[in-house]
Amino acid sequence: MARLLEQGFNVTGIEPSAEMRRLAAKNIPASLISEGSVLKLPASASSIDFVYAIEVFRYLDTYDNAQGHREIARVLKPGGIYFGTYVNKWALDGFRQLSQVRQLVERLTGVPRRYHVEFETPSSLCEKLRTAGFSQVMAHGAMFAPLRVLHKVSPRLGAAVSRLTMPHETWLSDIRPFRSFAGHLIIMARR
């Protein structure tokens, strides 16, 4: 939000967590941050030009994702743009498989779930957004997926390989045959 403000945009932040609103207020005026959720945005219909949701939908379940997508479509002006990030279901970093192992361990031990992660594929996500009311939807891959594992195993090696792969990021993560294996999905959709 601070960067958008610096560029002269009028912005409003929506955040359900009081602690996160408090932290955000260190960088931007607190009056620009409202309590709320993507499930019920505190904005009137067709009133916003651009919505971005970074790392939001990964923590919501399928039903809440659908509701959040409908809410974004509701508040966007005709022709308005939505930009969001998602976790790729078939990413080569093994995050989905690790998540499934954690779920199994939690079930077997009776330990309550710490958090939920929703995984998406480029094609199913595009279809979900069209169903929610978006007319143009584009999915892009980002982050050559095995890099995440490399950074965890050895931050130094991960940084070195990242420097080598970054010039080729588009080819490695975003061309159609590889997009489904990228670490993240970036969505751009127009109402």
- State how many domains the chain has: 1
DSSP string, 76-126: EEEEEEEEEEEEETT-TT-HHHHHHHHHHHHHHHTPPPS----EE-HHHHH
Count of CB atoms within 10 A of residue 132's CB?
21
Structural domain contains residue 67? yes
Checking if the pLDDT of 115 tops 80, the result is no
Q: What's the whole-model pTM score? A: 0.86
Mean of pLDDT values over 59-87:
96
Q: Which residues contact 17 (CB under 8 A, 6 or more apart)?
A: none
Residue 22 has a pLDDT of 95
What is the extent of the structural domain holding 164?
37-190
In angstroms, what is the C-alpha Rg of the chain? 18
Structural domain contains residue 9? no
Residue 62 has a pLDDT of 93
Q: What is the CATH number of the domain that holds 180?
A: 3.40.50.150
Structural domain contains residue 57? yes
Tens-place pLDDT, residues 149-191:
888 889 999 899 889 988 898 888 888 888 989 989 999 999 9
What confidence tier does 106 reach under pLDDT thresholds 50, 70, 90? confident
Structural domain contains residue 80? yes
Structural domain contains residue 17? no
Q: Could you tell me the two tokens for 86?
A: 């998602």
Structural domain contains residue 27? no
The three-class DSSP label of residue 141 is strand
Structural domain contains residue 157? yes
Mean of pLDDT values over 4-13:
93
Structural domain contains residue 12? no
